[in-house]
Amino acid sequence: MKFSGLLSRTNHEPPGVTGVARVDRRTGDLLRRLGPGDVAVLDHVDLDRRTAEALVGAEVVGVVNASPSISGRFPNLGPELLVAAGVPLVDGVGTGVLRELKDGEKVRLHAGAVYVGDREVARGVEQTAESVADAMIEAKAGMAAQLEAFSANTIEFLRRERALLLDGIGVPEVYVPLRGRQVLVVAGGPRHAADELRGLRKYVREHRPVLVGVEAGADTLHAAGYRPDIIVGDPDGIGTEALRAASEVVVPAQTDGHAPGLERIQDLGIGAVTFPASGNAEDLALLLLDAHGAALVVTVGLRAGLREFLDRGNSGSTPSTFLTRLKLGGKLVDGEAVAALHRSRVSFGAVSLLVLSAVVAMGAALAVSGVGQVYVDMAVDVFRSGFDWLKGFFS
């Protein structure tokens, strides 16, 4: 009986998902080390959308969070995105997991528990679509307090970065011509940004905008077959091929002048300029474009609704994001709106089909009336000329 039971267990895989643990208290450092098949083990209160997008983009098979992914302070977007992507999220297991698990160790997640072999090393709550939805409803009650904190942080940021925001002092010079030109800025996670970028192919082909990649957005541009004109962001989080393809690289720096990732740029032999400011890379990119006179800035992957502002928690980037968008005003346009406008235009195929139908009908009428083949040939020549003109117009 015992022998039979042993055979039964060894012939079946244990339940749950299995992967290689990648452990780090610092979320940014962890994201740079993740790859397909990994289980991300982190300590991140109120998991935000940007982090969740990076986790999904890295193709992790599971996420273990030592802290609550939804604390209830505000309705953050990360857990919802992870669950929708089918990535198991084991939540609130406690900080002990960061000591118990070794980086590179094989782990298994099942029913809210974390196992190494047959040993349970941590237990929390496995989030589902229903549990996340319930938590988000409760979290909306915390929005009023977050808005008050947001207002105070905005005033403080304006005092600290007034010269940059109002007068453009500290914005570095770039060699790519920007004044009076349209610009396409790509940021955000690789999946949804790539989808939006595909919808803008007609816009890019027609208007030839300056292409700006912000951090992971640079890789998205490069993967889509475009060469970034300018890259803004920490080079440590950007692929080598995209960095080498760019005409210019702008590296955000701390106010003391230290620029993370600058050593990598130097090792690659790529020229770069630094941008000392306390805002995030997205906001610095927008301020750079505004200071150098861009006429229109179309964005991909930059969301700035109320939930997105609050989703950044208490980070100093929230006031920066709000004030930056106020500064750019009407020249800032969401890429989805631009794509929708281009989709609504009459397509080349539809117009050419209409012209072809008219020519065929006219040719048939002429043939029946006995006017002669000469006129039919003339109609065909007219169609061909019109077809070439339409092709040039829509290309």
Q: How does DSSP assign 237-266, residue by residue?
A: GS-HHHHHH-SEEEEEE-TTS--TTHHHHH
The two tokens of residue 376 are 């039919």
Q: How high is the pLDDT of residue 363?
A: 54
Q: How high is the pLDDT of residue 288?
A: 92
Q: How high is the pLDDT of residue 378?
A: 54
Closest by Cα among 233, 218, 53 to 40? 53
Q: Residues 116-133: pLDDT tens digits?
A: 998 999 999 999 999 998
Angle subtended at Cα 67 by Cα 54 and Cα 134, rounded to the nearest 5 degrees: 85
Q: How high is the pLDDT of residue 146?
A: 66
Q: Where are the alpha helices (H) located in 123-280, listed in sequence order?
A: 129-139, 143-160, 162-167, 190-198, 201-207, 216-223, 240-245, 262-268
The two tokens of residue 342 are 């281009």
Closest by Cα among 251, 238, 187, 194 to 217? 187
Give the mean model confidence (pLDDT) for residues 306-324. 59
Give the mean model confidence (pLDDT) for residues 95-122. 92
Give the mean model confidence (pLDDT) for residues 82-98. 93
What gap in Å lies between CA 160 and CA 29, rounded to an integer? 27
What gap in Å lies between CA 214 and CA 359, rounded to an integer? 49
Q: How high is the pLDDT of residue 393?
A: 43
- DSSP assignment letter at 140: G
pLDDT, greater one: 32 or 6: 32
**To the nearest whole number, what is the mean pLDDT of the chain?**
79
What gap in Å lies between CA 170 and CA 240, rounded to an integer? 27
- DSSP assignment letter at 312: T
Closest by Cα among 34, 79, 37 to 61? 37
Give the mean model confidence (pLDDT) for residues 306-318. 52
Q: How high is the pLDDT of residue 19?
A: 95
Give the mean model confidence (pLDDT) for residues 375-393. 51
- Paired strand residues for 299: 185, 334
Length of the chain: 395
- Paired strand residues for 72: none
Give the mean model confidence (pLDDT) for residues 309-324. 59
Q: How high is the pLDDT of residue 9?
A: 44
pLDDT tier at 6, thresholds 50, 70, 90:
very low
* Residue % of the chain over a pLDDT of 90: 33
Give the mean model confidence (pLDDT) for residues 216-221. 89
C-alpha 313, offset from chain centre: 18
Q: How high is the pLDDT of residue 314?
A: 41
Any idea which residue has 């106020």 for tokens?
326
Give the mean model confidence (pLDDT) for residues 247-259. 79
* Residues 249/213, Cβ–Cβ less than 8 Å: no
What gap in Å lies between CA 177 and CA 184, rounded to an integer? 14
pLDDT tier at 197, thresholds 50, 70, 90:
confident
Q: Indicate if the pLDDT at residue 367 is higher than 50.
A: yes
Q: Give the burial string for 304-333 (b: 16+ CB within 10 Å, else e).
A: eeebbbbbbbeeebbbbbbbbbebbeebbe
What gap in Å lies between CA 223 and CA 219, rounded to an integer? 6
**Least-confidence region, from 38-52, 143-157, 285-299:** 143-157
pLDDT, greater one: 234 or 372: 234
- Paired strand residues for 120: 115
Long-range contacts, stretch 391-395, CB < 8 angstroms, 24+ apart? 391/348, 391/352, 393/348, 394/347, 394/348, 394/351, 395/205, 395/348
